[in-house]
A and B are shown apart, each in its own frame.
Chain A
Amino acid sequence: MQQHTTITEATFLRDADLRPIRKRRGRPTHRILVSFSAAYFAAAFVTDIVYWQMPDVVWERFSIWLIAAGLVMAGLAAVAYVIDLAGHRRMERPVWPRVVGYGLAVLLALINAFVHSRDGYTAVVPTGLMLSGLVVAVLLVTASVAAALANRHRIGA
């Protein structure tokens, strides 16, 4: 236990050495855009649930615009990611689980946009609703896996 604590402190110390550099550069732009798109996709899941319970066309319209806005943000995030890479910004590690998870979520959201462009009830129930839920689930899993990995790296386990 004592040993473990020591290592952790050492880790923090080494991390702290890098932090001023990262803070000065700020959070990579693509991460902000990713947060926006995730919020839109999550909101679409909420409006889908409302439509499922009370099939008024206004909720379906909310959903498709939210998904579309999420996809636009995802597109901008992809552009920003390339720019961030080109600018040699220091990315937070580990990146791969995030890219794969987020890419999967966006792919599902794109399919969902087509499903939501159908006419009437089957634009949402059941396929659209399930896809909206799946997108949120993938985003949550991605975030928690990424956070866990980041934490593990940080504590050096």
Chain B
Amino acid sequence: MHAPRIPRSTKLPRVAAILVAVAGLGLAGCDDHAGDPKVQIGANPVLPEVQQYLMPPMRIAEVVGWGKDEAPSVPQGLQVHALATGFQHPRSLYVLPNGDVLVVESNGPKAPVYRPKDIITGWVQSFAGAKAEDANRITLLRGTKADGTPELRTVFLDHLDSPFGVALIGHDLYVANTDAIVRYPYQDGQTSITAAGTKLTDLPGGPIDHHWTKALLASPDGSKLYVGVGSNSNVGENGIGAEYERAAIWEVDRASGAHRIFASGVRNPTGLQWEPETGKLWAIANERDEIGPDLVPDYLTSVQDGGFYGWPYSYYGQHLDPRIVPQRPDLVATAIKPDYALSSHVAPLGVAMYTGTDLPANYRGGAFVGEHGSWNRTPLNGYKVVFVPFSGGRPSGPPQDVVTGFLDANNHAHGRPVGLAVDRTGGLLIADDVGNTVWRVSSLRPGSSPKPAS
């Protein structure tokens, strides 16, 4: 009963069928149903069930940059123009007392590869302009010529280490590099600092340094510095040991360099600001990814001394994240629900509490928020600067779109807003880290320069 031993050579169709089935699975992983971001705004965002993916949705906006005479859009009564262009990934802004504007050009350290996923994520994000070379410098802009560009532009500080936050107290200029706060001597009117810096304190840096931006804010009396230190992972996947003193807002004593954890459980806190009416500390936070297009909403919140805001164990109070084991019910029980949701994956990275007088009165006392924009949600969310009105020291209504047009109708990104600042005359400055531009928004008045075509 021997079958003849003839080599078979018709196996390929079935192999091909298997490959097609695999490809189909990959596509199915991209199918997600994002809800309306409007229901995730304010004090009580609607939170759907946790979803886990075979392939988490990635949707990035292709970067096309700004053409000549292209600019973002602003509402009636405002105008926007490019204060300066040709930067290298401008990430945050700081205005010195004499009106000089500091532009921090920075793009973070190289991310290490711990898993095959890191290679793919890095590759995908390179299309979103996230992999530009790190300039590691601060550029100074002074004055305004008739065409709206600065009279003077100099390299203010060079050879930094992924800087982000800047704070001036008296004649001490503090720069928050990704791994340390460094103090430089600053004389009024100085356009370039060549003196060596003095380290005030180390900050959690490499080798992982997942969230590298260290936001900085001085206390009103100048005795303390507040530092936003982001987490070292999305949700603890690098081990809880990698999160030591991270996902926290530090309070650093300026005299000694000693620090304590002012608040914790904030995944990536930036945009530290004093709310002008109550003098309370406020921050924005980027929340966790990969559990759905509508989880977890990023937020704007007051920061309570000693407060715990959930990360990584829970979100929005006591909503447990199944990806963290062992859990910490003792911490989760104390988790504070943030004040104001901005909707999911908008990636807020800049806040300016408006106390100027140039913009219309309805903006006074509220918060502008720069939303860098989503990369893992369909449809895209963010990519604009919104205004959150405040009343009595609390957000008092839905956000209004103020600066839009970073994203065009074809979902191409001309730019992405990041850090915000208010200049000495009350204009709103916006760092655009893929458009490599600093935009200035001001009131449109009779006789002032016309609004550029957008």
Residues of A within 8 A of B (CB): 11, 14, 18, 55-58, 60-61, 64-65, 68, 78, 81-82, 85, 88-91, 93, 95-96, 99-100, 103, 106-107, 110-111, 113-115, 117-123, 125, 153, 156-157
* A56, A64, A81: the one within 8 Å of B239 (CB): A56
Which residues in B have their C-beta under 8 angstroms from that of A123? 237, 323
* In the assembled complex, B236 has its CB within 8 A of some CB on chain A: yes
Report whether B323 and A121 are in contact in the complex, using a CB–CB cutoff of 8 Å: yes
With known contacts A120-B323, A121-B324, A156-B1, A89–B7 Cβ distance under 8 A = yes
Are B116 and A107 interface neighbours, CB within 8 A?
no
Q: For A152, give the chain B residue with the smallest CB separation.
A: B1
Report Cα–Cα, A125/B326, bound state, in Å: 12
Nearest B-chain residue to A7, judged by Cβ = B1
Residue of B nearest to A71 (CB): B116
CA separation between A13 and B338, bound complex, in Å? Answer: 81
A64 with B324, Cβ < 8 A, contacts A57-B238, A103-B15, A118-B52 known: no
Give the complex CA separation of A78 and B16 in angstroms: 11
A57 and B239 in contact, given A65-B116, A107-B22 (Cβ under 8 angstroms): yes
Question: Which residues of chain B are near A56, meaning CB under 8 Å?
Answer: 239
B323 and A122 within 8 A (CB): yes
Chain B residue with the shortest CB-CB distance to A60: B237
Known contacts A78-B15, A85-B7, A93-B3; 15 further A-B pairs (Cβ under 8 A): A61-B114, A64-B117, A89-B7, A96-B8, A99-B14, A110-B25, A111-B25, A115-B54, A117-B116, A117-B117, A118-B52, A118-B53, A118-B323, A119-B236, A121-B324
Of the candidates A85, A153, A156, which one forms a contact with B9 in the assembled complex, judged by CB atoms under 8 Å apart?
A: A85
> Does B5 belong to the interface (CB within 8 Å)?
yes
Choose among A89, A113, A118, A120 the residue with the greatest number of B CB atoms under 10 Å from its CB.
Answer: A120
Q: How far is the CA of A95 from the CA of B92 in the complex (A)?
A: 63
| CB <8 Å contact, A18 and B5 | yes
Residue of B nearest to A106 (CB): B18
Contact mask B115-136 → A, CB, 8 Å, 1/0?
A: 1110000000000000000000
- Least CB distance, B58 to chain A, in whole angstroms: 12
Consensus secondary structure, chain A interface: helix
A93 CA / B7 CA spacing, docked (Å):
8
Q: Does B361 contact A (CB under 8 A)?
A: no
Q: Shortest distance in angstroms between A98's beta carbon and chain B's nearest beta carbon?
A: 10
B113: min CB distance to chain A, Å: 10
Across the interface, A125 reaches (CB within 8 A) one of B22, B55, B321, B325, namely: B325
Chain A residues whose C-beta falls within 8 Å of the C-beta of B52 in the assembled complex: 118, 122
Is A107 a contact partner of B326 (Cβ separation < 8 A)? no
From the candidates B18, B55, B233, name the one contacting A107 in the complex (CB within 8 A): B18
Q: How far is the CB of B231 from chain A (nearest CB, A)?
A: 11
A-B pairs with the 9 shortest C-beta distances? A120-B323, A119-B237, A121-B325, A57-B239, A114-B54, A117-B117, A68-B116, A119-B234, A103-B18
A81 contacts across to B, CB distance below 8 A: 11
B residues within 8 A CB of A93?
3, 5
**Shortest Cβ distance from B348 into chain A, in angstroms?**
21
A119 touches B8 (CB 8 A): no
Q: Chain A contacts of B5 at CB under 8 A?
A: 18, 90, 93
Q: State how many angstroms separate the Cβ of B114 from the closest Cβ of chain A.
A: 6
Which of B11, B115, B239, B321 is in CB contact (< 8 Å) with A117?
A: B115
- Which residue of chain B has its CB nearest to the CB of A84? B7
Show 15 A/B contacts (Cβ-Cβ < 8 Å), sorted by A.
A57-B238, A58-B239, A64-B116, A81-B11, A88-B7, A89-B7, A99-B15, A103-B18, A110-B22, A114-B53, A119-B234, A120-B236, A120-B323, A125-B325, A153-B2
> Which of chain A's residues has its CB closest to B55's CB?
A114
Alpha-carbon gap, A89 to B235, bound state (A): 51
